[in-house]
Chains A and B, each alone.
Chain A
Amino acid sequence: MNNSCKKLSGLFVALFTIALTLISADITHAAGAGTAGNPDAGGKIFKQYCAVCHSTGTNKIVGPGLEGVTTRVPQPYAEWMHKWIKNNAAVLKTDAYAQKIFADNGKVSMTVFDGTLTDAQIDDVIAFLANPPKEESTASAGANTGGAAAAAGTEDEGSHITMVLLIVVLALLILTLVLRSVRKSLQGAVNKMKGIAPPADRTLWQDTKYWVRTHKLATACINLFLVAIFLVYGWEYLWGIDVTPGYHPSQPINFSHQVHAGTNSIACIYCHSGAEKGKVAGIPTLNVCMNCHKGIQGSNPEYKKEIEKIYYAAGWDPAKGAYSNPSHPVIWNRVHSLPDFAYFNHSQHVVVGKLQCQKCHGPVETYTTDQQFAPLTMGWCVNCHRETPVHMDSNGYYTKIHQALMAKYPGKTITEADMGGLECGKCHY
């Protein structure tokens, strides 16, 4: 009895100890994980509030990259980070590590999140940073490259048709020559059987001359046809000299208007801000590219490569988060080019005339490589000046001239031509 009682109590003590160790292990485990926060919720909060200045990698945006942050800050990290996120200004006053980090990162103060984020939310963010997710960035890559490939496929359909025609013509010529020699040898064989002397061995040229002599009308028709073709093509060719719609030179950076103006619907004027302000719409300077590309580094290797060219040109070091390298100007190939003897002013057309960019530049938001849309000939300019009604309502620029013109041409739509838009000196001076 006594013995069994002892055994029982021993068992009880053993069980108790095991339970205790389990509980304490659980507690230490929890302490190891830092907080009771939810990393998934923390990820969302991080993107909303922190990602503007901090990346989860090693690169600096405004503040340092936060990869492995939980191992660098003073331990226990959860407590320190909580204090820091909540009110970094207070921590900075006393904490040596905080002061060092502040000095290393250009002394830019971080936002105080006391009042913006709750304690539980801060714990979530810390949990997220302690267990960062693996990068998942290739999701959209396939779709994008697929689109580009499809666009490239349709490009040279026209020249394919000409090649096919050329091959057919050549095949027919060869067939004619083969048939001629077959006919000749058959005729020779027949003549031999009949005992007639073989026909004179005439060359192709002699044969042709003979055919021309005996078929004068057909020859005249063929010649007329050839001359007509020559004249039509020649005429069109001469008109096409220096008229280059569809001209789409390759560029040093594969910039796609389709991605920027199409998918991301960035206004044309955002980059070409000169169009509203002066003669030239302008190629944006690299600081305009960097307004977005400081943060957007490319979702797939192909994009990354192109965006790295911007960094190289701007002298931006993404790892340091500073313009610490030498800069290199980008030499773009000009697509739209008016000769110097024709004056054209963008702001006149965009601000005063209230024209859409697409009117002259075509559906640029669908182009992967920029191309010339309009012929940019004088006839094209003049036609538009003749046909397009002038936006005079609520256009402060025209208040006076509007009244004068309404009096002069009652009931008529006023076009640019009515206001002297066809005068030579308007564009050539």
Chain B
Amino acid sequence: MKNKMQKMLMKIIPMLGAGVYFSLLFSSCTRNNPDSSGVEYMPDMYRSPSYEDNSVNGFYADSMTDRRPVTGTVPVGFWPDPFPNTPDGWADAKQYLKDPYPASPEVQADGKAIFEIYCIHCHGKEGKGDGPVAQKLPGPPPPYSSPQIRAYSEGEIYQVLEYGGAYGNNLMGSHASQLTVDERWKLIRYIQVLQNLGQSDSTKATTATDTVKNTVPSTPNS
């Protein structure tokens, strides 16, 4: 009886062994666990002690490696915000803040490229407030050519990009973290084209966007 049991075991053990071997072989080929990036060879070479961007950092209480500039300092190439986020600041900006770029076709073409990255999904292709995201918002943004928005001066639009709409209180948030000062001013030149869309003379306005569309710096549209 004991002998028979032993024989049975002798048969089963190699089979089990083969099963384990094959399953190991195949599991190493298919990566079933999505959270594992697989075997690493010499991880020291890949994971250096320096901190990567956006990584966790135990040194700071909030665990973030990315830090803000020290209070009171300005990074190289940046300017402090000229006008504060107060009614007075906005009123001053409306009056005194001016776009350093001319309203030339080249600048407007650059502005259009920026518009198509940062604005188009809410404000729509022509700034009518009909972008794909606008339909999911509680309400669409007002068209650029509406009387209220059309009344915005370049300085006021700058304040909107810097602090968000209505002092950062309405649905449009600040885009200061995404747009450099240069990009904002170029963008404003294109927004001004859209503000004037369909106002005095609709045919004139369409030709204005067409010119911008066709004017890439290399192919001057003379």
Contact = CB atoms under 8 A, between A and B. Distances in A.
B137 A296 contact: yes
Contacts of B148: 111, 116
B75 interface: no
A17 to B, nearest CB: 49
B203 interface: no
A295 interface: yes
A177 interface: yes
Contact of B180 (A62, A248, A277): A277
Given A292-B137, A340-B50, A241 B41 contact: yes
A265 interface: yes
Chain B interface extent, by class: 35 or more
Nearest to B164: A291
B28 A51 contact: no
Interface residues of A, number: 76
B141 A52 contact: yes
A282 B66 CA distance: 11
Contacts of B175: 291
A396 B64 CA distance: 37
The secondary-structure label for the interface of chain B is: loop
A51 B132 contact: no
Contacts of B88: none
A162 interface: yes
Given A111-B148, A265-B121, A339-B45, A294 B37 contact: no
Given A115-B147, A292-B122, A294-B173, A337 B46 contact: yes
B121 A166 contact: no
Interface string B7-51: 100110011001100110110111110110111110001101010
Contacts of B45: 339, 341
B136 interface: yes
A283 to B, nearest CB: 5
A66 to B, nearest CB: 11
12 contacts: A47-B138, A52-B137, A52-B141, A52-B171, A53-B170, A108-B169, A162-B29, A177-B11, A241-B39, A265-B132, A270-B121, A296-B136
